[in-house]
């Protein structure tokens, strides 16, 4: 990681509140993002995987980003997720993020047609930038092969960087694989390498990683920041690990949404968009007891 970069710390991958018409509840989203920032997150990332980014249209996401800006949010604290298999959709989001002054964009590779080798992935990213009018906005590559089918190996990262240059400033590695995460850190000392997994956060940071972009800061932002800063005891690490295991073992983002809805007493956080179903009341109650919420 570049020692002079500001692209580090805990980045809250925001859940998306949804109103009764299945539209984004922008006011609730703004309040939630500002809460995470006030609790120590350096940035927030809306419309990534945790934010159901693949379930909203590009028009919905663009309108929400513009509305957040109009409501007075500091968009330089935003690193919006761009999850789109269409070059035009991804480019529209990238262009909007740049125009609004966002810090960077977190862009996943194409996730329907499998790319024809490294060149296909590189061509996709290059086409996004060109179609957006080549704005000067940093890119964080999104390594989540479970959804995209495209693993960001060191070879692929090198090829993307060779084509896009200094525009690529980081990687979010959502695999939870410590060995591969450490390899990325060692291979790209000038990039900000983030994990999405609390269980390996402290070891990634100790090895030169930039921090995390993840879902747990939605509920526990201060604990995530403490974990990032390091020096915690085994009990703290164990509690963080048990939290993510409990959440991921019960649907991941739908558990986060149900628990955050209760925390804020805000119904718009509870239901996800189809095809996801909301968490059952039984599991919701059991999780609250297990996590002391």
Pick the catalytic residue from 94, 125, 142, 228: 142
What's 14's domain CATH number? 3.20.20.70
**Residue 2, in any domain of the structure:** no
pLDDT digits (tens, 9 = 90+) for 51-93: 999 999 999 999 999 999 999 999 999 999 999 999 999 999 9
Q: Residues 6 or more apart from 160 whose CB is under 8 A from it?
A: 121, 122, 125, 141, 168
Range of the domain at 35: 9-232
In a domain, 262, yes or no: no
Helices within the chain (DSSP H only): 26-38, 58-70, 87-99, 117-131, 145-148, 154-164, 178-187, 198-206, 221-229, 234-248, 253-264, 281-290
Interacting residues of 77 by C-beta distance below 8 A, sequence separation 6+:
37, 42, 43, 44, 103
Question: Does 153 map to a domain?
Answer: yes
Instruction: Place 226 in a pLDDT band, splitting at 50, 70 and 90.
Output: very high
- Note if 142 is an active site residue: yes
* pLDDT at position 32 over 90: yes
Q: What is the C-alpha to C-alpha distance for residues 6 and 171, in angstroms, rounded to an integer?
A: 14
Under 8 Å between Cβ of 204 and 193:
yes
- Residue linked to tokens 């509690």: 239
Place of tokens 């932002």: 221
pLDDT > 90? residue 108: yes
* Residue 290: partners with Cβ closer than 8 Å, 6 or more residues away: 246
For residue 139, what are the β-bridge partners?
105, 168
Does residue 116 surpass a pLDDT of 90? no
Does any domain span residue 1?
no
Per-residue pLDDT for 115 more than 90?
no
- Given this model, what pLDDT does residue 114 score? 86
Tally of domains in the chain: 1
Q: Which of 8, 30, 95, 172 is catalytic?
A: 172
Tell me the pLDDT band of 103, cut-offs 50, 70 and 90.
very high
Residue 293 within any structural domain of the chain: no
Q: Is the pLDDT of residue 149 over 90?
A: yes
Which residues make up each annotated binding site for pyruvate? 50, 213
Is 172 labeled as catalytic in the residue annotation?
Answer: yes
Q: Flag whether 266 is in a domain.
A: no
If you average pLDDT over residues 24-42, what whole number do you get?
98
Query: Across the chain, what does the average pLDDT equal?
Result: 96
Domain assignment present for 225:
yes
pTM of the model: 0.96
pLDDT at position 259: 98
237 in a structural domain = no
Place of tokens 């991921």: 248
């Amino acid at each position: 990681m570049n020692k002079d970069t500001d692209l580090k710390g805990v980045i809250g991958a925001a859940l998306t509140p949804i109103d009764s018409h299945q539209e984004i509840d922008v006011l609730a989203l703004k309040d939630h993002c500002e809460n995470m920032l006030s609790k120590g997150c350096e940035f927030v990332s809306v419309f990534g995987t945790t934010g159901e980014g693949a379930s909203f249209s590009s028009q919905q996401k663009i309108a929400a980003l513009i509305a957040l800006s109009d409501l007075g949010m500091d968009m330089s604290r935003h690193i919006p997720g761009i999850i789109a298999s269409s070059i035009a959709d991804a480019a529209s989001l990238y262009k909007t993020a740049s125009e609004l002054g966002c810090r960077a964009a977190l862009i996943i590779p194409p996730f329907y047609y499998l790319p024809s080798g490294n060149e296909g992935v590189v061509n996709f990213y290059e086409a996004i930038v060109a179609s957006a009018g080549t704005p000067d906005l940093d890119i964080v590559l999104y390594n989540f092969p479970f959804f995209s089918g495209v693993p960001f190996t060191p070879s692929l990262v090198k090829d993307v960087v060779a084509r896009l240059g200094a525009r690529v400033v980081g990687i979010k590695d959502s695999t939870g694989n410590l060995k591969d995460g450490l390899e990325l850190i060692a291979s790209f000392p000038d990039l900000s390498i983030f994990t999405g997994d609390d269980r390996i956060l402290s070891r990634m940071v100790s090895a030169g990683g930039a921090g995390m972009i993840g879902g747990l800061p939605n509920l526990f932002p201060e604990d995530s920041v403490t974990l990032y800063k390091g020096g915690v005891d085994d009990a703290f690490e164990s509690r963080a690990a048990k939290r993510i295991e409990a959440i991921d073992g019960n649907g991941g983002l739908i558990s986060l949404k149900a628990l955050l809805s209760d925390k804020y007493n805000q119904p718009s956080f509870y239901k996800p968009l189809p095809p996801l179903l909301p968490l059952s009341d039984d599991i919701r109650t059991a999780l609250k007891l297990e996590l002391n919420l």
